[in-house]
Structure 1
Amino acid sequence: MPATSHPTRAAVAWRWVALVLALSQLAAPAVTSALAGDFLASGATNRALITPAGYAFGLWGVITVLSAVTAVVIVRYGLGSWWETGILIDICIVFVGFSLWLVIAAQSWLWVSVVVFGVMVGALAHVMRKLIRHRDDLTCPSWAATLATVTFGLYLGWSSIAWFANVAAAFLDEGWSAEGWWWQFVVLVLASVSAIGVTLMLRGTLGYVAGVLWALVAIAVGAAQRGSPVLVSTAAVAAVVVAVVAAVTWQRLGRRARISPATA
């Protein structure tokens, strides 16, 4: 682990901003529901065949709580890398995006919702790439780095699949058929291919894989509830492939770790 360095004023300031915004995520769903009602239950997203089963959205609660806990840890310990300020800004963008997305979705501005979610996913992907591929730069305790990696990996895994569900909702709002399985099959395949690619990029990190598998299994359950066996099979196969790719990646990384000390 690199030697501990003193954080810049900018890094300290952004840590506190991230904490405030993380706490705001906890209140955002309740505030939006009080003002707009249960808009997700009756909106276009809920009509799509590839909408995850209702229970799956409870993961948002886990993500927002983990985000708050992680933000507290970052305020206390920091991350300690020279690039910390950059990813703290990305994290703040994600937290603002979550609350903004709820407001936009409540107004049924679905293509705007797609854009906001896309920005969130892009920011999360950048955060995760830094945390995974440049972990040796971190000077915080290893458990704090692991917590951040799991939290934002879970956030990215769920959000990246949810982005495709938002795209489907936007198409439905444009008049595409909710019973048209073929175009939703294409959307689901694109989501699956993206998930496999990011799994490889992030070296099968557990948080991301868990978020993706949760989403794909929930899509399979939701498609079964809506009577679409093709989409059930597609989501199930995608989940298996992601799990296998992650397992193979873990095996290869473990083998490299065993070989490296022997050749050092």
Structure 2
Amino acid sequence: MSTLTGDPARSAVRPVAADRVRQTVVIASAVAALVGAVVGSGLVGGTPIPRVAGGALSADATLLAPAGPAFAIWSVIYGGLVLYAIWQALPSQAGRDRQRRVGYWMVASLLLNAAWILSVQAGLLALSVGVIAALLVVLIVTFVLLRAHPGGTTADAILFDGTVGLYLGWVMVATVANIAAGLTEAGFDGFGWSPHAWGLIVIAVVAVLCCALALWDGGRLAPAVAAAWGLAWIGVSRLGGALPSAPVAVAAFAAAALVLLVAVAARVAGRSHAPGPSRR
């Protein structure tokens, strides 16, 4: 394969028609996701997400619901997705192997994002659980592919790895909150266990999974920061909301701190053992 530069991470072949199609589909999918986001915000006729489905996704609907300000992270994620869509459409990106491997997975994530908003706007909470679970799977695959095929440029580190990392970390927490809302609406009684006990168990499971991800990916900060952000706002919601739970709040704060600590430790350990230039 001929390369554009001597750096294998930047290798690309001459673009073909399929590459142009992929670039166009990514752009169209990003537009669809943005339209969905605007509708979901309530700015153009849609119902704000916390008020859909009878408030099933509000900050006080379940013990695992983050406080409202947590969703500000979507502004950063959407900003990254828009910049990614523009960047991948550049002629220099058309034939890159990394874009080819991940492009349609990104399309799937953008369309599932829009589908999730449409499902909750329609009050179909059970459907939204399936959609966000599918989104989580797509993001995991995307993240694994990106890690397996490093980019080697600052643009890759920010627009690909950084954006997908934030997206994945947040959706890991959001999926748990969405499932809890769906189960609550369905009348799940927790097999007689206290909601507080279930909250502690789920927070512990999320913390373990996020720490395992941090160890596996060498301490990449984006997914850890996003997951910790979501966990911390669950803690805030349980301290100051209408559905208080001191045990869940403490567990959520502790989990957020643990995820960050493990990610930083894994990153430092990886750099100390890695030969040559330090990793991004």
TM-score with structure 2 setting the length: 0.84
Q: Does 1:55 align with 2:69?
A: yes
Corresponding residue to 1:170 among 171, 182, 192:
182
In structure 2, what is the Cα distance between the partners aligned to 1:170 and 1:126?
25
- Match for residue 227 of structure 2? 212
Whole-angstrom CA distance in 2 between matches of 1:28 and 1:198: 29
Q: 2-side partners of 1:185 and 1:112: how far apart?
A: 26
How many angstroms apart in 1 are the aligned matches of 2:273 and 2:16? 36
Report the counterpart of residue 242 of structure 1 in structure 2: 259
Distance 1:191 1:7 in 2: 41
Question: Partner of 1:145 in structure 2?
Answer: 156
> 2:157, 2:123 → 1: CA distance?
37
| Whole-angstrom CA distance in 2 between matches of 1:79 and 1:205 | 26
The letter of the residue matching 1:252 is A
1:239 CA drift (Å):
1.1
Seen in structure 2, the aligned counterparts of structure 1 residues 212 and 39 have a Cα distance that, compared at 3 Å, is: closer
What is aligned with 2:86? Answer: 72
Measured in 2, the distance between the counterparts of 1:127 and 1:174 equals: 32
Given the alignment of the two structures, is residue 7 of structure 1 paired with residue 3 of structure 2, yes or no? no
Contact 2:39 2:47 in 1 (8 A): no
Match of 1:37 in 2: 47
**Structure 2 residue 278 is the aligned partner of structure 1 residue 233:** no
Q: Answer yes or no: is 1:185 the counterpart of 2:195.
A: no
Cα contact 1:220–1:231 (8 A) shared by 2: yes
For the 8 Å contact 2:66–2:237, the answer to whether it is kept is yes
Q: How many Å separate the matches in 2 of 1:194 and 1:45?
A: 23
CA RMSD of aligned residues (A): 2.2
- SS of the residue corresponding to residue 203 of structure 1 reads coil
Residue 81 of structure 1: how far off its partner (Å): 4.5
User: In 2, distance between residues paired with 1:228 and 1:72?
Assistant: 44
Q: Tell me if 1:252 matches 2:257.
A: no
> Could you tell me how far apart the structure 2 residues matched to 1:11 and 1:202 are?
29
Q: Cα 1:57–1:70, aligned 2, differ >3 Å: closer, same or farther?
A: same
Count the aligned residue pairs.
256
Residue 161 of structure 1: aligned partner = 173
Establish whether residue 24 from structure 1 lines up as the match of residue 41 from structure 2: no
Q: Counting helix residues as a fraction of each chain, which structure ranks higher?
A: 1
Note the C-alpha offset of 1:38.
2.2
Shift of 1:230: 0.6
Quote the Cα distance in structure 1 between the aligned partners of 2:57 and 2:23: 34
- Tell me by how many angstroms 1:102 deviates: 0.6
8 Å CA contact 2:105–2:138 kept in 1: the answer is: yes
Query: Could you list the per-position Cα deviations for residues 73-127 of structure 1 after superposition, in whole angstroms to 9, with x for gaps in the alignment?
Result: 1111427553533411110011001111011112232221111111111111111
Q: Which runs of 5+ in 1 are unaligned?
A: none
Deviation at 1:186, TM superposition (A): 2.3
Conserved 8 A contact 2:214-2:220: yes
